[in-house]
Amino acid sequence: MTGENATTGPAVEPASGFGPPEDGLQRLWTPHRLVYIGGQDKPADGTVAQCPFCRIPAGDDEAGLVVARGAECYAVLNLYPYNSGHLMVLPYRHVSGYVDLTGSETVELATMTQTAIRTLTAVYGPAGFNIGMNQGEVAGAGIAAHLHQHVVPRWLGDANFLPVVGQTKALPELLADTRARLAAAWPAGRGAAPEGGR
């Protein structure tokens, strides 16, 4: 029998034989997002009609989890967050590539990202952030047709055994409460969302 000895039982593989090699990288395990990756709530195609990021601004801020609105961009909570406070900054315009943004969209996206970091820091006091965007499905963009920049607050020890072993992510606050706290703390004049909508 391969891997088994009749007198001692099954062979035991050492833990070092599993997982990625030692490389000094921090890993954020998010198995709770597998439902979304598998297709739940994903648009059927890349058209404006199917795009949730185009529909959200037309609705109510609370229902759409919009934190703040600017002239050309807005900030919204991620419906499938990596961590509490995980939000995205994106243009209203349906555009997929960073290089396709206008100059003013680029400036507002950057300014709102800075404001998001300041607001999240004031409200939640994270130890750091992951900030970035995935361009194209092959790069990991869940909705590749509409550019969005992630702002993910991070805390020491926020990736623990629960998501890795239990395939469960503990988020200590409802998204509606997170949205209300961040919207209230977002500085006026920096893409502040008027209550109730655009």
The residue from 32, 146, 148, 150 that is catalytic is 148
Contacts 24+ apart (CB under 8 A), 76-79: 77/175, 77/178, 77/179, 77/182, 78/150, 79/41, 79/175
Q: Which is nearest to 83 in space by CA: 195, 172, 197, 3?
A: 172
What is the C-alpha separation between 184 and 9, in angstroms, rounded? 61
Query: Any catalytic annotation for residue 94?
Result: no
Q: Which is nearest to 94 in space by CA: 131, 138, 132, 45?
A: 45
Map residue 111 onto helix, strand or coil: helix
195 secondary structure, DSSP code: T
- Catalytic residue ranges: 148
